[in-house]
Amino acid sequence: MSATARAIRHLSVLKEFTETPGPRYAEDGKFSGRQFLDELLNPRFNEALSQDAVLFVDLDGTAGYATSFLEESFGGLARLHTAPVVLDHIDFKSEDEPYLKEDIRRYIREGEGGTR
């Protein structure tokens, strides 16, 4: 089934998490990628997955994302669910920095082979 035919669940980083996404791990600072994964991204992804919906993540409006934050959160999601499952149930909005969408898909593909 194509992603466009499915129901869509929304997640806005700015409205639901923070304006200033932080480092990779919680011990390194506030609003970390790991915190985002554990508290928001993974629970919402599970919800979307159980309904065979697509989780639409709005990345706009923040001060910017470090690769470390994105690798930990989205790569971490791939380590929990496998890259094909994540790529099949996730989509992004990123008008502030359009290449982020490509970058995150790469972190998801590479993240599955990660160790942590």
Partner 1 sequence: MNRLLAFGWFLGGAAFCLLILLLIPFQLDPKIDLAELLQLTVTVIIGVLLQLYAVRNYSDFRVTKNLLIERAEGASKSLSEAHKLFTDCYARGEITVSDRRAMLAAKREFSNSVLIFEKAAEECALTLGKFEQVKSLRGQYIDRLTGGGFPAHPYTPQVAGEEGGLYLDLSQALTSLIFEINRK
Applying CB under 8 A, the residues found at the interface with partner 1 are 22-25, 28-29, 63-68, 71, 96-100, 102-103, 106
Give the nearer residue to partner 1 in terms of CB position, either 39 or 96.
96
Least separation in angstroms between residue 49's CB and partner 1 is 28
> Is the distance from CB of 20 to CB of 56 less than 8 angstroms?
no
> Is the distance from CB of 21 to CB of 13 less than 8 angstroms?
yes
Least separation in angstroms between residue 110's CB and partner 1 is 10
Least separation in angstroms between residue 35's CB and partner 1 is 13
Give the nearer residue to partner 1 in terms of CB position, either 29 or 43.
29
Contacting residues for 104 by C-beta, under 8 A, at least 6 apart: 70, 74, 92
Distance in angstroms (rounded) separating the CA atoms of residues 19 and 52: 29
Which stretches does DSSP call E strand in the chain?
A: 8-12, 54-58, 90-93
Give the nearer residue to partner 1 in terms of CB position, either 49 or 92.
92
Least separation in angstroms between residue 68's CB and partner 1 is 5
Our measurement of the distance from residue 94's CA atom to the centroid of its chain's CA atoms, rounded to an integer in Å, reads 12
Give the nearer residue to partner 1 in terms of CB position, either 52 or 95.
95
